[in-house]
Amino acid sequence: MPKGRTTVYINAHVHTFDAEAHVAQAFAVSGEEIIAVGPERYVWNMAGDFPEVVDLEGAHVTPGLVDAHVHLIDYGLTLQRMADLSGCRSVAELQERLRGHMRRLEETGSPLEWVLGHGFDHELLETRAFPTRQDLDEVSRERPVVIRRLCGHAAVGNTRALELCRRPLPEESRSTGLVTEDDVGLLMEGVPPATVEEIDRAILQSGDLAASLGITGVHCLIVDVRQIDRLFALHGRGILPIRFYVMFSYSLLEEMVERGFHTGSGDAWVTIGAAKIFADGALGARTAALWEDYADDPGNRGMMLIEQAELTDMIKHAQSHGFQTATHAIGDRAVDVTVSAIEAACAHQNNRLRHRIEHASQMTQKALVKMAHYTIPAAVQPQFIITDFWTRDRVGERRYRWSYPFKTMLRAGVPLAMSSDCYVERLDPYELIYRAWVRDEHSRDEALTPFETMRAYTLGSAFAGHQENDRGSIEEGKLADLVVYPENPFELSREDILQLRPEFTIVGGRRHRPTLPLL
């Protein structure tokens, strides 16, 4: 029954994504809840007296999208603090963007001394090699300059940044300025932490952008516990644009336990989720752990950042305190090791906490079977298929059959959750749907339809966060998180999918208008 003023939405095509994949004509919302879905007469009868009426004039409605792996707050901070280096084709172009960013810092009176850049891909540069310390010295010798590769697993610093390192770097890194994996954090240790005002602005700006694109919830990666505090603070003021499922660095686990948290703590707006673990590196930096040599780098099989016994113990420890884990595993060896660790940790619990794997980019048949058996969700990123155009060169033609095998995973029963991994990729759901559908000429057999992708983007992501009972489909009793489109997203051409944008988004029953609240 209605829980306050009710709004009835009529004259629509409501793609419910329920078990029967119904298409309804109308729905009604009261408070934050969907109270009726179905034919218009039924919805009117359920709505109570004097509801607000919104005629959608034939628009199409889907559940709200849930991005299952996104660095959304860091993305907001990146927009404020870093030069955008994506798409740079030469070192000269990269240097000029950094100089322009440095001028903007000076013009705005920013106290940040560091000159930071993010998003470059050395594979796109004319040299197909990483920029060097000397290249960045040409931008500035007085100020520390650090640029991160788009994957975040490699970075380059200038001489001044290397001098400021509080612990010694390997000799080769001191020579070239290039660091990978844990040394990236070491290189950037001296960067001043974001202020509370910067964090709040990042949450609201990036959340506002997400909502305008039809994203009503995110599984947000967090490495700074202050970001969790700010989420709760902004929620207390009632101004969060979207819902947050917090995935925190495993290094914060003990503090989360001390605070009395467990997976599911919080409420429908800010929910404590999984502890994030890194098992290996990235394909772009050739640090993802493979069973065989990189095809374009003989003798190199990447690196495990943690071995199976320790990973098993970490998962067991998190599990003992009621926490789900989310393990970054990209290479096929890392995925196999992670699956075996989850199997060992959950032998008598049937993975009730839904320990999950982030990325699962390179798979094996063995991992596929076990992920389906133990119901291990995989948070995957279709945009990587095109962005990482060099993947086939990395793993070779034979192994490329098992790169991003989404259709095979879906058919085998592996729970798929869709995600952008923004800031690594663009926060663009429709580019994601396009890339899952189109793929590349060597992997068309693994293409997903727009419906399959969007279902994984809604119900699949909800399942990965233990939230399928209150979101992910348009059903009575679920949260009123929906997206209204001017046309049918499942009947568009490949090219038109890229241009699709919502008419508006509904989050918690409120129609979203892209505005930024005053802080």
Domain locations along the chain: 6-64+478-512, 113-187, 196-464
What string of DSSP letters covers 316-350? HHHHHTT-EEEEEE-SHHHHHHHHHHHHHHTTTTT
CA nearest to 265, candidates 248, 246, 280: 246
Q: What is the DSSP letter of 79?
A: H
Rounded to whole angstroms, how far apart are CA atoms 292 and 297?
A: 11
**CATH 3.10.310.70 for the 113-187 domain, yes or no:** yes
Beta bridge partners of 479: 33
Instruction: Give pLDDT, residue 417.
Output: 98
The per-residue pLDDT for 514 is 55
Instruction: Give, rounded to a whole angstrom, the gap between the first and last alpha carbons of the chain.
Output: 36
Phi and psi for 52 in degrees, rounded to 5? -70, 145
Identify the pLDDT of residue 513. 67
**Residue 393: per-residue pLDDT:** 96
Per the CB < 8 A criterion, the answer to whether 351 and 339 are in contact is no
284, 279, 308, 303 alpha-carbon torsion, rounded to 10°: 30
Looking at domain 6-64+478-512, its CATH architecture is Roll (2.30)
φ, ψ of residue 357 to 5 degrees: the values are -120, 130
pLDDT < 70 positions in the chain: 1-4, 513-519
**Nearest residue to 432 via CA among 445, 422, 441:** 422
Q: What are the two backbone dihedrals, phi and then psi, of residue 509, each rounded to the nearest 5 degrees?
A: 85, -10
pLDDT for res 3: 61
Could you name the CATH architecture of 196-464? Alpha-Beta Barrel (3.20)
